[in-house]
């Protein structure tokens, strides 16, 4: 158990209290209990469920770990809300996700966090900046928590944008082993999208009055959160398109470099072919005259015969090959 607080008439009751004490206070109007839990044990969740009348299916979803998708499930007398918070880890250039399960009912809001422990006081300090909203009851606490979560996505998007720009610079510097990095980054962007996009549905329903009536002043603040979520989603779309363009450019550069390598290899093969073509007749002639037949031994006994038959036999094919190559524009 991280913290238990009781709010009455827009202010928190001073001092720490137990779960039993908080459950005993009246929870009517703008009086409500705000409980923060981090990966609670089964006995703690059992006690919370008993004192606040939570449904066993919702308690099971909040107890088994961070595995739920973002959603809003209505029950008879409370709502079960799942958020995913995100943090950009600069040393590893990765996005770290956590899960937040909320129980919102008449006179209480219970936050169950999974993953990296968050600072529950941050959302409370945020809500305290709007004392007129605290009189709206536990829904104001939900707004404060959701608003801080959505704000945390801004540095995440900035970190991903910087990663994309680094990939672009690295790609045009000649680095070729970037395909895996591009796909890993694309998967991270998709994870952010899967965390943000499901929030739009419940927020739109809230704007249309699909949930229980809210204070009109608080409803305007939820609309502001909806606008922030939409901007985050639009930025995700832009980053996905940008990363797709990076991947296409990277593959084009790889194909261009492969074509250049193929052209160089073809040039080398061409040169080797010319050398082999030149030496083939020369090898044949020298091999022929290297046979020690009697006629050759008797008829090539002078320098003149050696110059005509030996050197001339080598010079004639060279001149013929040169003329053939010149005509075929091999030089």
Which range of 8-17, 162-171, 208-217 scores highest in mean pLDDT? It is 162-171
Contact between residue 100 and residue 35 where contact means Cβ atoms under 8 Å apart: no
Domains of the chain with CATH codes: 3-255 (3.30.460.20), 264-327 (no CATH)
Contact between residue 83 and residue 139 where contact means Cβ atoms under 8 Å apart: no
pTM of this prediction? 0.73
Contact between residue 70 and residue 84 where contact means Cβ atoms under 8 Å apart: yes
Average pLDDT over the chain, rounded to an integer: 81
Region 113-119: mean pLDDT is 77
How many Å apart are CA 27 and CA 8, to the nearest integer? 9
**Burial class of residue 141 (count of CB atoms within 10 Å of its CB; 0-12, 13-18, 19+):** buried
Region 36-40: mean pLDDT is 87
User: Residue 237 — pLDDT band, cuts 50, 70, 90?
Assistant: very high
For residue 271, pLDDT over 60 is answered with yes
pLDDT for the residue numbered 275:
74
For residue 330, pLDDT over 60 is answered with no
Q: How many CA atoms lie within 13 A of 221 on its CB side?
A: 22
Q: Which residues pair with 94 in a beta bridge?
A: 89
Q: How many CA atoms lie within 13 A of 25 on its CB side?
A: 22
pLDDT for the residue numbered 272:
78
156 vs 268, residue with greater confidence: 156
Region 121-130: mean pLDDT is 86
Contact between residue 72 and residue 202 where contact means Cβ atoms under 8 Å apart: yes
How many Å apart are CA 44 and CA 205, to the nearest integer? 33
Rg, the chain, Cα only: 39
pLDDT for the residue numbered 236:
93
């Amino acid at each position: 158990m991280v913290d238990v607080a009781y709010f009455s008439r827009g202010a928190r009751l001073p001092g720490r209290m137990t779960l039993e004490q908080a459950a005993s206070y009246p929870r009517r109007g703008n009086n409500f209990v705000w409980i923060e839990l981090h990966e609670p044990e089964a006995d703690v969740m059992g006690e919370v469920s008993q004192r606040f009348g939570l449904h066993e299916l919702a308690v099971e979803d909040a107890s088994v770990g961070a595995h739920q998708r973002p959603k809003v499930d209505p029950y008879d007398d409370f709502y079960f809300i799942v958020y995913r918070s995100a943090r950009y880890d600069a040393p590893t250039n990765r996005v770290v996700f956590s899960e937040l399960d909320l129980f919102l009912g008449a006179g209480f809001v219970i936050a169950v966090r999974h993953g990296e422990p968050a600072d529950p006081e941050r959302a409370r300090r945020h809500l305290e900046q709007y004392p007129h909203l605290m009189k709206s009851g536990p829904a104001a606490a939900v707004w404060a928590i959701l608003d801080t979560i959505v704000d945390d996505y801004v540095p995440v998007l900035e970190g991903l944008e910087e990663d994309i720009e680094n990939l672009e610079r690295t790609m045009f510097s000649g680095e070729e082993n970037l395909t895996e990095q591009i796909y890993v980054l694309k998967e991270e962007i998709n994870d952010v999208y899967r965390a943000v996009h499901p929030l739009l549905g419940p927020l739109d329903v809230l704007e249309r009055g699909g949930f229980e009536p809210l204070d009109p002043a608080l409803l305007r603040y939820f609309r502001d959160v909806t606008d922030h979520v939409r901007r985050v989603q639009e930025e995700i779309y832009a980053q996905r398109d940008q990363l797709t363009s990076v991947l296409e450019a990277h593959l084009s550069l790889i194909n261009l470099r492969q074509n250049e390598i193929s052209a160089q290899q073809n040039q080398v093969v061409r040169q080797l072919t010319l050398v082999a073509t030149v030496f083939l007749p020369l090898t044949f002639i020298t091999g022929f005259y290297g046979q020690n037949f009697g006629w050759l031994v008797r008829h090539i006994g002078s320098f003149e015969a050696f110059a005509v038959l030996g050197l001339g036999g080598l010079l004639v094919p060279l001149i013929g090959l040169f003329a053939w190559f010149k005509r075929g524009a091999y030089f």
